[in-house]
Amino acid sequence: MKVNSYTEKISVCDKQTDFFEGQYRIPQGITYNSYLISDEKLAVLDTVDASFTDEWLKGLSEALGGNSPDYLIIQHMEPDHSAGLGAFMEKYPEATIVASEMAFMMMKNFFKADFSDRRLVVKDGDELCLGSVTLRFISAPMVHWPEVIMTYDDKSKTLFSADAFGRFGCGDDIPWNDEARRYYIGIVGKYGAQVKALLKKASELEIKKICPLHGPVLSENIGRYVELYSCWADYRPEQKGVVIAYTSVYGNTKAAVGTLGKLLVEKGCEVRIYDLARCDMSEAVSDAFCKDRLVLASTTYNNSVFPFMREFLTHLSDRGFKRRAVGLIENGSWAPVAAKAMRELLSGCEEIRFIEPVVTILSSPDAKAENQIEALSEALFKLN
């Protein structure tokens, strides 16, 4: 029997969640993607978030055209992809779940059921024949959780990449880089080594299409996406430019930041300024990883840094921020210590080069501070 295999994306768009994973703003929403591979056997890859299970099951049912799926491949157990598992298994009682050993352990934790009579445990390199298509499973621990497997379709040369290569935003027309980077840095930024290990495995495959669990299917210029992932996993700056992240209570630190930004722009530098109390913190963090230079400007507060700056630096440090030039601006009315505190908060980050001079503002910028700002702008410009 000759069967024409094909893959169908069954995706739902979430524009109702305010904070994805409880912390990332998603003004353009996010998709949860499931896929159906139709061959002699029918395999469904992953489910969707709990709020969209009914919509997904309806779309899946239409795609199946009255047939019953043979397999549900669970690549990733995070609930934005696995929440529909119980409803699926109830609706399709003949289906077998295919997942890693650790995923089944997590299944028991999440669903209080281990589906022991309907399971197929797979590990790195295992294969599953659907007829004309053979699927190969690729373990990808910590991209984004330890149980993750990815799936390679050797016929269409498609990599089903779980969270990897996903991005925020519902429409296919949203530019990929910024929202993919914000997603990557936020979700797996800490796990550069594991992403590199995955990319090494992927380099041995011919990949014509990438099907992630969020965002669009990627089918053109695959090398460009892989190169960006390689850059991010290496913690290399992606672009030239200066990110200035600041906190200001009465506007004086903000004024100093404005002066620095203006000087840098006049010299021809690209500058992005983030008020950490008011911006989307994940955007500021993502941009700090993107650009090659960072300036931190903080009020001295409780003999340390202002709380929003502490939060920002914690995000950077937790995600392995490294290999950057960093300038410091501190403000204090009687005992400015923010620069020292910011250095300490970055002390766990490797290959950070602090740029001189440190700008010290005593309440509001005076001539000495203005000179320091000018000198800092020149030092930053020289790295352009």
The residues that touch ligand FEO, with contacts defined as CB under 6 A, are 76, 78, 80-81, 144, 163, 213-214
Q: How far is the CB of 208 from ligand FEO (least distance, A)?
A: 23
- Let me know if 374 is exposed, middle or buried by CB neighbors in 10 A (0-12, 13-18, 19+): middle
| Distance (Å) of CA 129 to CA 115, 136, 235 | 22, 9, 38
Q: Alpha-carbon distance 147 to 294, whole Å?
A: 35
Give residue number: closest CB to ligand FEO.
Answer: 78
Contact present, 358 and 369 (Cβ < 8 Å): no
Q: Which is nearer to ligand FEO, 81 or 310 (CB)?
A: 81
∠ CA 191-193-196 to the nearest 5 degrees?
Answer: 110
Tokens read off for 74: 């669970």
Q: Which is nearer to ligand FEO, 163 or 283 (CB)?
A: 163
| Distance (Å) of CA 58 to CA 8, 62, 65, 130 | 14, 6, 11, 23
Q: Which amino acid is at 293?
A: R
Q: How far is the CB of 44 from ligand FEO (least distance, A)?
A: 17
Q: Alpha-carbon distance 83 to 72, whole Å?
A: 13
Q: Which is nearer to ligand FEO, 106 or 269 (CB)?
A: 106
Q: Which is nearer to ligand FEO, 144 or 322 (CB)?
A: 144
Q: How far is the CB of 237 from ligand FEO (least distance, A)?
A: 26
Q: Which is nearer to ligand FEO, 215 or 336 (CB)?
A: 215
Q: Alpha-carbon distance 186 to 179, whole Å?
A: 11
Q: What is the chain's percent helix, strand, coil content, to nearest 5?
A: 35, 25, 40
Q: Which is nearer to ligand FEO, 81 or 291 (CB)?
A: 81
Q: Which is nearer to ligand FEO, 145 or 381 (CB)?
A: 145
In sequence order, which residues have a C-beta less than 8 Å from that of residue 290 and are 6 or more positions away?
A: 181, 237, 238, 239, 241, 243
Q: Which is nearer to ligand FEO, 76 or 319 (CB)?
A: 76
| Distance (Å) of CA 106 to CA 20, 90, 112, 114 | 21, 19, 9, 9
Q: How far is the CB of 158 from ligand FEO (least distance, A)?
A: 19
Q: How far is the CB of 145 from ligand FEO (least distance, A)?
A: 6
Q: Which is nearer to ligand FEO, 46 or 153 (CB)?
A: 46
Q: How far is the CB of 180 from ligand FEO (least distance, A)?
A: 13
Contact present, 152 and 138 (Cβ < 8 Å): yes
Beta-bridge partner residues of 327 = 295, 355
Q: How far is the CB of 90 from ligand FEO (least distance, A)?
A: 23
Q: How far is the CB of 49 from ligand FEO (least distance, A)?
A: 9
Q: Which residues of 305-318 are buried (b: 16+ CB within 10 A; e: fewer)?
A: bbebbbebbebbbe
Q: How far is the CB of 78 from ligand FEO (least distance, A)?
A: 4
In 3D space, the residue among 291, 340, 280, 264 whose CA is nearest the CA of residue 315 turns out to be 280
